[in-house]
Chain A
């Protein structure tokens, strides 16, 4: 069976800035694939090009070299106007910035995808309400984004994507802005949801512990121009208890190996 998502020799350089020498390659020769139902985590230092990579996969930006295959078919384009963000709703994307619509309340932000996809009914509303409960936003449904904390906004952005259930979900450090305790809770919730539906998830983080706790496999990105520096299969069986992840057998060894690869 061919992988669901395949990245082949991907390269990216941004247009040269005015009056300067050509800009460097941010990504170069980057290849990996993601199997259906896999939870892939990607770790890399700040500025490595993690967000750039996800932008290209989600088609909010073009690649400069290489190819991306989705379900075996090429979806690559070099023309910014030919980009299809989310490629027909098959790829969901929880961006690093929350990008909530400031004129919509929490609940209306969460319902946005269902609304534009014509899937708004009692069942989907109930689902949205359940997700709001699950991430601790109950009572804040009618708040506007500027009335929420940074962490609450990120949680809203997270469930806005989970609610319409796209087959592939890209996540860019979704838990970076919350406290350690909430983060562990959200990680546990995410794993629970994932184990129920087995979506394909590509999860970017710079937290090695998080990469181990969540992923089936962890990729390590090198510094610029970044490529895959290492790949680690996480040997910890599921279901995992993220609260005690440190104590589980295999954690310490994996952590050490990944840390050695992250420069």
Chain B
């Protein structure tokens, strides 16, 4: 039997090619990094080797993963609390453009404000625990996803809505079966930008004041002149972002099966 999901030979070849290119770029980065270490000394720039060893050690001891898990839960919780209303609001307000117009300047303001600057304030309000970090992630994620979803809802083809209404769809059916699926690509585009920002926001809030999390590790490493510790924490945060993006890619692929595939040469190897 023919496996229809298996990539065709040229695609497979181009994927292998992409993996090779990834390796090459990785090697260049490590080389430049080693050069910097050699030039400035390990006191200022920790060596790739030392970072790798420390990374493995702290993963093995469970310490790194514990801190990463803490940061991850803040980011995930904040993404959920900020993201869900950011998706629902434009869907619910589709029939009330006046309300959208009234909210608009405030949303634009919220979108444009440097939310990371609120971190100290949130720590004053919500304490040094998880709440202040989650609050910061919420403010970062909410506005990005809100505008992405709003764009998707606005780009909706009115004829599809009319067709559904002719076929007997109520307002609720239209929202669920037309507006939401039509907006899914935009919603994903929003989360794709918002989630890395959200993780960064959690780390930065921890930097300012926390006793747990990757931001705390960065802060702690810097205070003890332990650049290796700083690098390991940043590396872990980067991996978290990568994992989040992979999960979103997989979800998107599943949810957007109905879309014609993009140009093959634009497809990434992953």
Query: A residues engaging B (CB < 8 A)?
Result: 58, 60, 84-86, 89, 91-93, 95, 97, 99, 101-105, 112-113, 116-117, 144-146, 160-161, 164
| Contact call A101/B168, Cβ cutoff below 8 A | no
| Contact call B160/A99, Cβ cutoff below 8 A | yes
**Least distance between B123 CB and chain A CB atoms (Å):** 43
Interface flag for B173 (CB, 8 Å):
yes
In the assembled complex, the Cα of A14 lies from the Cα of B16 at a distance in Å of 56
Q: Nearest chain-A residue to B181 (Cβ)?
A: A103
| Contact call B259/A116, Cβ cutoff below 8 A | no
Task: Identify 4 new A-B residue pairs, CB closer than 8 A, beyond the known A86-B168, A91-B166.
Answer: A93-B163, A102-B258, A116-B167, A164-B168
Q: Answer whether A104 and B160 are a contact pair too, CB < 8 Å, given A85-B165, A116-B170.
A: no
Chain A residues near B164: list those with CB within 8 A. 101, 112, 116
| Contact call A116/B178, Cβ cutoff below 8 A | no
Chain A residues near B238: list those with CB within 8 A. none
Chain A residues near B163: list those with CB within 8 A. 93, 95, 99
Q: Which of A93, A97, A113, A116 has the most CB of B within 10 A?
A: A116
In the assembled complex, the Cα of A97 lies from the Cα of B257 at a distance in Å of 23
Q: Answer whether A60 and B258 are a contact pair too, CB < 8 Å, given A101-B178, A164-B168.
A: no
Chain A residues near B170: list those with CB within 8 A. 116
**Least distance between B165 CB and chain A CB atoms (Å):** 4
Interface flag for B169 (CB, 8 Å):
yes
Interface flag for B14 (CB, 8 Å):
no
Chain A residues near B184: list those with CB within 8 A. 103
| Contact call B169/A116, Cβ cutoff below 8 A | yes
| Contact call B162/A116, Cβ cutoff below 8 A | no
Q: Answer whether A144 and B173 are a contact pair too, CB < 8 Å, given A86-B165, A99-B160, A112-B164.
A: no
**Least distance between A127 CB and chain B CB atoms (Å):** 15
